[in-house]
Chain A
């Protein structure tokens, strides 16, 4: 049985909406609204969803860069949400983050060596040890020792992202939260960074939480996948199950929307076009949050919140009417006499 590194229980992050002269709270944005998940040792958990689903907020709440509203984050048996400042600083050595934007994530006025070395200096490493380690880290992400006295703007996007990865590795962390680490990169550079991440994971025995909107990348890198919609996890399963036996109607529509670089396959696929717009996370729909756009929603869906329940081995879904393995959302909808708007590349 593998070692559990991170457990998240019913985590909620709500942002207050303030208005008026007295800045009184008039509502909340339910950015993350009751998410539970776990990450095991040396495992990659993929977290997918569209913008506004709360995946980035979730990642930052786990690291307490944003304070949670409720819930627990258990890191190696310790509740991160309950520890004091000093203990939190200690814990930060073991939980790191890599950001999406390779331009905004490096301080433009610091040389690369200082950027990578800073976490070590903060935690009391002597300068010479830190410098030595910076050289090793540069090498382990495919950069040269000479690069340490250069500034971020002298590097390409892919190189900068590797600098960000080296910084995250500086304190020998156990868990790294990768927040869209390749989505700002060119296709040929994206593959380089993905391969590097996979090798570093084995080399340093890391656990990854890989946040992304690109479902193809997530399938490639993840062991298990969590699909999020409007602040909630709607489906959790092993990677191939999510992609081959999706049970949630949202997962179905998401997968059908991803283009595949294969013209013949593309022309034979029916693409589900979801109707309506993403509701605001400040006033989510009652019951199931996907019901306003779901082609197979029924009365129950608006009155009762579907819990995340076990469907099979390691496969959980939050839907009152999950789609059976092998069936398609279009078929189910047709069986109910509902219409699903689809598009087809062929015509």
Chain B
């Protein structure tokens, strides 16, 4: 193999006069920080994002802890008198067949979060891969993938969801995959756009000029730069998935009881809106809180992942 460099590699280079002059005053006094640490520090500076993250972590912990410490099971019928109002033994009251609503709510949160996480991960993976291939290779690959993406995008999502949910949807995972199958195009389009932009950036041209092969350009140069925007989109998807799942459940098309989700809990409570509004409001508030927090966290992550972000008040 030909040597990697013309001439001998490690001959001592004589430093020119100008370079010596330029070097004056270039000593660094600050400490070197890895990009990861810089990102972390920037994230910690984002108060809203930190607060949202803390709330999300606390909520998730409570979704797992509360059902475990409760004396009742989420599907335990007649855990108490039916339709009882909140009391010491049943802080959220009970439903018409006497199941404890606190356990059901927290277990429902658990399922909702699991569905949302699954949707977010699947959507991001499918979307990012298709978008990246489309944007990177261009030409007919791009043309055909974009066509498919647009086709999925123009399908009236809610209608298809309703039909598919009627046919396949009863378990939480089926619901998650149905939602994911319809929401990847948004990410695909965003990632495609990012790849198209970065492909023309000078630092990518520099890598080409140095002889870098396509795989290196894609994975080492372009992909890391798309993490920020993808992360934001993923968090937005978490929020959207929770809301979409709730919507489906609200139309009795989502996860079927006795498995609780925040959505079907609200559906179950809709008849009681006049007498026991809290049965609707509690899961509703949790859904809202989660999607708000996830969006704020996404904002913070986007700013933190951009190394050029300058902090100012």
Is there a contact between chains A and B in the complex with CB atoms less than 8 Å apart?
A: yes
- Whether B5 and A104, one on each chain, are in contact in the complex, defined by CB atoms closer than 8 angstroms, is no
Contact between chains at B26 and A142 (CB < 8 Å) = yes
Assembly CA distance A156 to B5 (angstroms): 30
**Which 7 A/B pairs are nearest by Cβ-Cβ distance?**
A142-B22, A119-B210, A105-B202, A199-B16, A123-B4, A142-B19, A89-B211
Asked whether A104 and B225 contact (CB < 8 A) given A92-B210, A171-B6, A195-B18, the answer is: no
Chain A min CB distance to B129 (Å):
20
Would you list 13 pairs from A and B whose C-beta atoms are within 8 A, ordered by A residue? A92-B209, A95-B209, A120-B5, A125-B4, A132-B10, A140-B15, A142-B26, A147-B26, A171-B5, A172-B5, A172-B6, A174-B6, A192-B22
User: A149 at interface (Cβ–Cβ under 8 A)?
Assistant: yes
Bound state CA distance, A123 and B207, in angstroms?
12
* Closest CB in chain A relative to B215 CB, distance in Å: 12
**Chain A residues closer than 8 Å to B201, beta-carbon distance:** 104
Q: Are A99 and B206 closer than 8 Å at their CB atoms?
A: yes
Contact B9 A146 (CB under 8 A): no
Q: How far is the CA of A125 from the CA of B216 in the complex (A)?
A: 16
A118 and B210 contacting across the interface, CB-CB below 8 Å: yes
What is the CB-to-nearest-CB distance from B310 to chain A, in angstroms, rounded to a whole number? 9
Number of interface residues of A (CB under 8 A): 64
Q: Which residue of chain B is the closest to A173 with respect to CB atoms?
A: B6
A98 to B211, CA, bound (A): 15
- What's the nearest-Cβ distance from chain A to residue B15, in Å? 5
Bound-complex Cα distance A106 to B204 (A): 9
CB within 8 Å of B: which A152-177 residues:
152-153, 159, 162, 164, 167, 170-174
Q: Which of B2, B21, B208 contacts A142 (CB 8 A)?
A: B21
Q: Is A219 an interface residue (CB 8 A)?
A: no
List B residues 1-38 near A (Cβ within 8 Å). Answer: 1-2, 4-7, 9-10, 12-23, 26-28, 32, 35, 38
Partner of B5, one of A63, A93, A159, A162: A93
Nearest residue (CB) in B for A105 is B202
Q: With A and B bound together, what is the CA distance between A306 and B23 in angstroms?
A: 50
Best-surrounded residue of B7, B26, B203 (most CB of chain A within 10 A): B203
The answer to whether B205 and A150 touch across the interface, beta carbons within 8 angstroms, is no
Taking CB atoms, residues of chain B closer than 8 Å to A93 are 4-6, 211
Q: Does B212 contact A (CB under 8 A)?
A: yes
Q: How far is the CA of A284 from the CA of B10 in the complex (A)?
A: 51
Cα of A226 to Cα of B282 in the assembled complex, Å: 75
Given A90-B2, A151-B307, CB of A129 within 8 Å of CB of B10: yes
A173 to B308, CA, bound (A): 31
Contact with B along A229-267 (1 / 0, CB 8 A): 000000000000000000000000000000000000000
- Known pairs A100-B202, A108-B225. 13 more at Cβ < 8 A? A65-B205, A97-B205, A99-B202, A107-B203, A110-B220, A111-B35, A141-B19, A143-B23, A149-B32, A171-B6, A196-B19, A196-B22, A203-B16
Asked if A147 contacts B18 (CB within 8 A), the reply is no
Q: Which residues of B contact A106 (CB under 8 A)?
A: 203
Are the CB atoms of B203 and A105 closer together than 8 Å? yes
Chain B min CB distance to A178 (Å): 13
Contact (Cβ within 8 A) A97 B209: yes
Please tell me if B156 contacts chain A, counting CB pairs below 8 Å.
Answer: no
Is B258 part of the contact surface with A, judged by Cβ < 8 Å? no
**Bound form: Cα–Cα A140–B27 in Å:** 15
A140 and B216 CA atoms in complex are apart in Å by 28
Partner of A63, one of B6, B19, B209: B209
Taking a contact as CB atoms under 8 Å apart, the answer to whether A108 and B26 are in contact is: no
Q: In the complex, A144 Cα to B5 Cα: how many Å?
A: 23
With a CB–CB cut-off of 8 A, which chain A residues contact B4?
93, 120, 123-125, 171
Report if B221 contacts A (CB, 8 A): yes
Chain B residue contacts of A24, Cβ below 8 A = none
Q: B220 to chain A: which residues have CB within 8 Å?
A: 110
Contacts of A99 in B (CB 8 A): 202, 205-206
Say yes or no: is A72 at the interface (Cβ < 8 Å to chain B): no
Alpha-carbon gap, A174 to B15, bound state (A): 19
**B-side contacts of A173, CB under 8 Å:** 6
* Chain A positions within 8 Å of B5 at CB level: 93, 120, 123, 125, 171-172
Give every chain A residue within 8 A of B221 (Cβ-Cβ). Answer: 107
Q: Please give, as numbers and ranges, the residues of chain A lying within 8 Å of B16 by CB-CB distance.
A: 140, 196, 199-200, 203
Residue A223, interface by CB 8 Å: no
Q: What is the bound-complex CA distance between A97 and B202, given in angstroms?
A: 10
Once the chains bind, are B203 and A172 in contact (CB under 8 Å)? Answer: no
Contacts of A36 in B (CB 8 A): none
How distant is B210 from chain A, measured CB to nearest CB, in Å? 4
**Residues in A neighbouring B17, C-beta threshold 8 A:** 199
Known: A167-B206, A172-B5, A196-B16. A151 touches B35 (CB 8 A): yes
A144 adjacent to B27 (CB under 8 Å): yes
CA distance A125 to B6 in the complex (A): 12
A97 to B204 Cα, complex, angstroms: 12
Q: How far is the CA of A129 from the CA of B307 in the complex (A)?
A: 29
Specify which chain B residues have a CB less than 8 angstroms from the CB of A192 in the assembled complex. Answer: 18, 21-22
A119-B211 contact, Cβ under 8 Å, with A97-B205, A167-B206: yes
A122 within 8 A of B: yes
B173-226 interface with A by 8 A CB criterion: 201-203, 205-212, 216, 220-221, 224-225
In the complex, which residue of chain A has the Cβ closest to the Cβ of B9?
A129
B178 to chain A, nearest CB (A): 33
The answer for the CA separation of A94 and B7 in the assembled complex, in Å, is 11
Chain A hits for B12, CB < 8 A = 136
Q: Which residues of B contact A140 (CB under 8 A)?
A: 13, 15-16, 19
**Given known A-B contacts A150-B28, A151-B35, A122 and B22 have beta carbons under 8 A apart:** no
Contact A146 B225 (CB under 8 A): no
B307 near A109 with CB under 8 A, answer yes
Instruction: Judge whether A214 is part of the interface by a CB distance below 8 angstroms.
Output: no
Contact: B13 with A139, CB < 8 Å? yes
**Within the assembled complex, what's the spacing in Å between the Cα atoms of A181 and B275?**
74
